[in-house]
Amino acid sequence: MELKLDKETALIEAILYLESDPLDEASISRISGLAKEAVDKALENLTARYNAEDSGMELARIGGGIMLSPKKEYWENLKERYGKKNEARLSRAAMETLSIIAYSQPVTRAEVEAIRGVQADNMIRLLLEREMIKEVGKKDVPGKPIQYGTTKDFLKIFRLNSIADLPKLNESEAERFELDGEN
């Protein structure tokens, strides 16, 4: 007998609607109090529901997690009006990573991590997915690490004409974005 898990599916849908950051299955399980198997089945149910043509939503996999978002085909028409909502939904960690990239660009993942003091893979992946940052080149050092910078979408969301329009940092704030005397 196949379990439908209607109420569990509805609970997971509500959690994903309320969360502003992508959640992995373990987090969904912890928040909902449901077993991993029930979470997996509920996510399958939601995927099937959102794959229908009469749905404007989808389960997006971003940065190793899952979040509820408009289908890409509709987002193109909606992002001009609702892009600000997307910016408002960035977590504190994502905003901190974005700030470091904006003020220190071009900057590598390792340099962002040195400034933040924590791993930045997921935040960089999330910001790339949301098209707020992009690869701008490779640093001329061994290993040729990718350098990141902000995009035109970043400027649009924050209503900046150019990076030069970023708020000026005072001396102690500016020091925070420097790496061992660089910049």
Q: Which residue has the tokens 């400027």?
A: 155
**Which CATH code fits 90-176?**
1.10.10.10
Instruction: Measure CA 111 to chain center.
Output: 19
Domain range annotation of the chain: 6-75, 90-176
Common-topology check for domains 6-75 and 90-176: yes
Q: What global pTM score does this model have?
A: 0.51
The CATH class, in words, for 6-75 is mainly alpha
CA distances from 33 to 12, 15, 36, 38, 136 (A): 10, 12, 9, 10, 43
**Tens digits of residue pLDDT in 141-150:** 999 999 999 9
**Residue spans of alpha helices (H) in the chain:** 6-18, 25-32, 36-51, 72-88, 92-104, 109-116, 121-129, 152-157, 171-176
**Tens digits of residue pLDDT in 45-93:** 999 999 999 999 999 876 567 888 888 788 778 877 776 555 556 788 8
3-class DSSP state of 57: strand
